[in-house]
C-alpha cells in the first residue's frame, strides 16, 4: 500500500491555498451590479414598453444620439422597449447649456410616495431618493414604482464630444432612466453604465445582466463579470 | 344614552385629532422634505495628475456661505418623433406595445447653487491667493414649494450623485475651473474634484467611487497638495 508523500500533500495544500488567495484577490475585480432602487411597473416575463419625448429639435446631433440610444437598448436581450412619441411620454429628453458645470448628462426619476403623519396619509409625486444597491431593491417604505423620468444634456460640455461619445452618454442616461446605476467595474469588466470616456457606446454584457435581473422573466442574460 | 355620549366624545376626539394633525403639519411650519439626487455622466479622471491637468486652479478652501438656489432652464425645443426600433425578431413578433405607465409632468430645468468659499491656501494655478473669497457653483440646491393656501409645502433638497452640496464651515481641497460667462468657479468632474479635510487634517474624497479616493482617503491633506504641486 502506497501513501502519498507528506511533501506531495503539502505541495497540493499550498497550491490549493494559493488558488484560494488568487480567487480572493481577483474577486474585487469583478463588477458588482448597481441599481438605483425601485423600477418601472413590470409584470415579469414580458416587454417593458416605455415612451420617450425627444425634445431636441434644432440640435440634430442630440436627436440622432437619443434615437440610436433607444435602438441600442432595444437591440439587447432584455425587455427594454423604448419608443418615441410627440408628447406625454414616460421619459422626457431635453438639452440645456451651462458653462458652469463639467457634467454631460443628468437624469432624474420620479415616483409616487405615500407619507403618513398620525393617521393622515397623502401621496405626492417626488423624485426618488437615489441609492446604489448590489441587487434589485425596492425604494424605501411608502414609495411605489417609477412614474416618469427626465434626461437633460448639457450642450456646452457635450457639443465638443464626438458623435460616438454623444451616443455613449445618451445610452448611459437611458440606462439610468430605466433603473440602472453606476457599477463598480474593473478594466476586465466593462459597462455602458460606467461614467466618463469609453471605447464603446452600446450596452455591454454586464449591463444586460443587470437589466434582466431588474426586470426578470423575459430573458436571462448570463452573468458576465 | 351612553352610546350617544360615547359617539359624541369619539366624534369630538376625531375632529380634534384631525385638527391637531393639520396644525402640526402646517400651522407649526412642518413641511415635507423631498431628497432628490441627479444621476450624472461626465468626464472621469484616473489620477491626481490627470485631474490637476484638467483644472485651472487647485485650492484649499473653507465654505463661507450658501447662496439661493436657481434653475437652469432647458432649451425650448420641439419634440422629434423617430421610428420605433425593429430588427429584434423576438421583440418584433410581440408587435408594438404601449406603455401602461401614464406620462408625468416634465421638469423645466435643473437646480444650481452658488457657494462663497475663502481660499486658505492656493495650491496651484495663477489668479487665486490666500484670503480671496470666490464663488463656486454646484448642481443641486434647496427650493421650497408652497401649497395652494400659501402655507409651506415640500422642501426639495437636490444633490448631484457623488457630489453633495457643500456645507458651510467645511474645509475642502477643490480642483477648479472657471465659467467664463459668470466668472464663478466649478469643480472639475463634479465630486471627483472635491476632497473634504476632516478636523484631524485627513482627506476624504467626496466622490468615494473615484480612483483617486482609493489612494487619498485617510491621508493627510499634504499628501494631495504635494502630489498636485509635483505635476508638471
- Grid coordinates representing B141 are 440646491
Q: Has residue A44 got a pLDDT over 90?
A: no
Closest CA to A96 of B71, B35, B113: B71
Q: Are B84 and B99 in contact (CB under 8 A)?
A: no
B32-73+107-229 CATH fold: OB fold (Dihydrolipoamide Acetyltransferase, E2P) (2.40.50)
Average pLDDT over all residues of chain A: 85
Q: Who's near B127: CB < 8 A, 6+ residues apart?
A: B56, B57
The terminus-to-terminus CA distance of chain A in angstroms comes to: 46
Chain B interface, best mutation among A94, A144, A181, by max B CB count within 10 A: A94
Q: Has residue A22 got a pLDDT over 60?
A: no
Give the residue with greater pLDDT, A148 vs B156. Answer: A148
Among the residue ranges A60-69, A173-182, B21-30, B150-159, the one predicted with the least confidence is B21-30
Which three-class secondary structure state does DSSP give residue B24? helix
Instruction: Return residues 179-218 of A near B (CB < 8 Å).
Output: 181-182, 184, 195-197
Which three-class secondary structure state does DSSP give residue B194? strand
Q: Which residue has the cell 401602461?
A: B100
Closest CA to A27 of A136, A186, A183, A181: A186
Chain A interface, best mutation among B80, B83, B145, B189, by max A CB count within 10 A: B80
Q: For residues B179 and B137, what is the distance between their CA atoms, to the nearest angstrom?
A: 9
Residue of B nearest to A53 (CA): B79
Alpha helices in chain A (DSSP H): 6-26, 60-74, 155-158, 163-177, 205-214
The pLDDT of residue B95 is 81
> What sign has the CA pseudo-torsion A73, A75, A76, A82?
positive
Percent of chain A with pLDDT over 70: 84
Q: Has residue A14 got a pLDDT over 60?
A: no
Cβ of B75 within 8 Å of Cβ of A157? The answer is no
Give the residue with greater pLDDT, B186 vs A12. Answer: B186
Residues forming a β-bridge with A141:
none
- Grid coordinates representing A47 are 416587454
Q: Has residue A19 got a pLDDT over 50?
A: no
Q: For residue A7, what pLDDT band results from cuts at 50, 70 and 90? A: very low
The pLDDT of residue A135 is 87
- Grid coordinates representing A116 are 403618513
B211: phi then psi, degrees, rounded to nearest 5:
-60, -30
Q: What is the pLDDT of residues A185-221, one digit of tens each?
A: 677 789 999 999 999 999 999 999 999 999 999 988 8
Closest CA to B227 of B53, B42, B63: B53
Cβ of B104 within 8 Å of Cβ of A147? The answer is yes
Residue of B nearest to A148 (CA): B104
Give the residue with greater pLDDT, A20 vs A156. Answer: A156
Q: Are B173 and B185 in contact (CB under 8 A)?
A: no
Q: Which residue has the cell 435602438?
A: A71
Q: What pTM, to 2 d.p., does this model score?
A: 0.84
**What is the Cβ-side half-sphere exposure of residue B34, based on CA atoms within 13 angstroms?**
25
Q: Has residue A225 got a pLDDT over 50?
A: yes
Cβ of A118 within 8 Å of Cβ of B17? The answer is yes
Chain B interface, best mutation among A100, A217, A220, by max B CB count within 10 A: A100
- Chain A CB contacts of B22 under 8 Å are 120
Of the partner residues A53, A106, A197, the one whose CB lies closest to the CB of residue B79: A53
Cβ of A36 within 8 Å of Cβ of B39? The answer is yes
CA of A30 vs chain B CAs: smallest distance (Å)? 15
Cβ of B37 within 8 Å of Cβ of A130? The answer is yes
Q: Has residue A131 got a pLDDT over 90?
A: no
Is the domain spanning A31-214 CATH 3.30.210.10? The answer is no
Per-residue pLDDT of chain B (232 residues; tens, 9 = 90+): 566 666 566 555 554 444 444 444 444 445 567 777 899 999 999 999 999 999 999 999 999 999 999 999 999 999 999 999 988 888 888 788 899 999 888 888 999 999 999 999 999 998 899 999 999 999 999 888 777 777 777 778 889 988 999 999 999 999 999 998 899 999 999 999 999 999 999 999 999 888 899 899 999 999 999 999 999 8
Secondary structure (DSSP) of B71-117:
EEEPP-------PPP---HHHHTT-----SSPP-PPPSEEEEEEEEE
- Grid coordinates representing B63 are 465654505
> What is the predicted ipTM?
0.82
Residue of B nearest to A62 (CA): B80
Q: Has residue A99 got a pLDDT over 90?
A: yes
The pLDDT of residue B3 is 63
Amino acid at each position: 500500500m502506497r501513501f502519498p508523500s507528506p511533501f506531495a500533500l503539502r505541495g497540493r495544500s499550498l497550491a490549493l491555498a494559493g488558488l484560494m488567495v488568487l480567487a480572493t484577490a481577483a474577486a474585487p475585480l469583478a463588477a458588482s451590479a448597481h441599481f438605483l432602487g425601485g423600477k418601472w411597473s413590470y409584470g415579469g416575463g414580458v416587454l417593458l414598453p416605455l415612451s420617450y419625448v425627444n425634445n431636441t429639435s434644432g440640435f440634430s446631433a442630440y436627436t440622432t444620439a437619443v434615437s440610436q440610444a433607444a435602438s441600442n437598448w432595444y437591440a439587447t436581450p432584455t425587455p427594454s422597449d423604448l419608443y418615441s412619441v410627440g408628447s406625454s411620454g414616460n421619459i422626457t429628453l431635453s438639452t440645456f447649456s451651462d458653462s458652469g458645470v463639467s457634467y454631460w448628462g443628468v437624469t432624474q426619476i420620479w415616483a409616487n410616495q405615500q407619507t403618513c403623519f398620525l393617521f393622515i396619509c397623502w401621496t405626492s409625486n417626488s423624485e426618488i431618493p437615489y441609492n446604489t444597491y448590489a441587487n434589485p431593491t425596492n425604494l424605501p417604505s411608502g414609495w411605489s414604482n417609477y412614474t416618469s423620468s427626465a434626461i437633460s444634456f448639457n450642450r456646452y460640455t457635450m457639443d465638443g464630444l464626438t458623435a460616438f461619445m454623444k451616443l455613449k452618454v445618451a445610452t448611459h442616461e437611458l440606462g439610468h432612466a430605466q433603473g440602472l446605476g453606476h457599477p463598480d467595474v474593473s478594466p476586465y469588466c466593462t459597462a455602458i453604465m460606467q461614467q466618463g470616456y469609453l471605447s464603446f457606446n452600446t450596452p455591454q454584457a454586464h449591463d444586460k445582466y443587470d437589466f434582466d435581473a431588474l426586470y426578470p422573466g423575459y430573458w436571462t442574460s448570463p452573468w458576465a463579470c | 344614552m351612553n352610546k350617544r355620549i360615547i359617539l359624541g366624545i369619539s366624534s369630538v376626539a376625531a375632529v380634534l385629532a384631525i385638527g391637531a394633525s393639520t396644525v402640526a403639519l402646517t400651522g407649526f411650519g412642518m413641511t415635507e422634505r423631498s431628497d432628490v439626487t441627479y444621476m450624472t455622466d461626465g468626464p472621469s479622471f484616473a489620477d491626481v495628475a490627470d485631474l490637476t491637468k484638467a483644472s485651472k486652479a487647485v485650492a484649499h478652501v473653507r465654505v463661507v456661505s450658501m447662496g439661493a438656489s436657481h434653475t437652469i432652464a432647458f432649451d425650448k425645443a420641439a419634440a422629434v418623433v423617430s421610428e420605433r426600433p425593429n430588427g429584434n425578431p423576438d421583440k418584433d413578433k410581440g408587435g408594438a406595445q404601449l406603455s401602461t405607465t401614464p406620462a408625468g409632468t416634465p421638469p423645466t430645468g435643473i437646480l444650481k447653487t452658488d457657494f462663497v468659499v475663502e481660499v486658505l491656501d492656493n495650491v496651484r494655478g495663477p489668479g487665486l491667493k490666500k484670503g480671496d473669497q470666490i464663488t463656486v457653483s454646484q448642481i443641486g440646491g434647496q427650493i421650497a414649494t408652497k401649497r395652494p393656501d400659501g402655507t409651506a409645502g415640500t422642501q426639495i433638497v437636490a444633490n448631484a450623485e457623488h457630489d453633495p452640496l457643500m456645507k458651510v464651515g467645511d474645509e475642502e481641497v477643490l480642483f477648479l475651473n472657471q465659467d467664463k460667462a459668470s466668472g464663478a468657479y466649478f469643480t472639475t468632474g463634479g465630486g471627483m474634484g472635491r476632497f473634504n479635510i476632516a478636523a484631524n487634517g485627513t482627506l476624504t474624497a467626496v466622490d468615494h467611487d473615484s480612483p483617486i479616493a482609493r489612494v487619498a482617503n485617510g491621508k493627510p491633506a499634504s499628501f494631495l497638495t504635494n502630489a498636485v504641486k509635483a505635476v508638471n
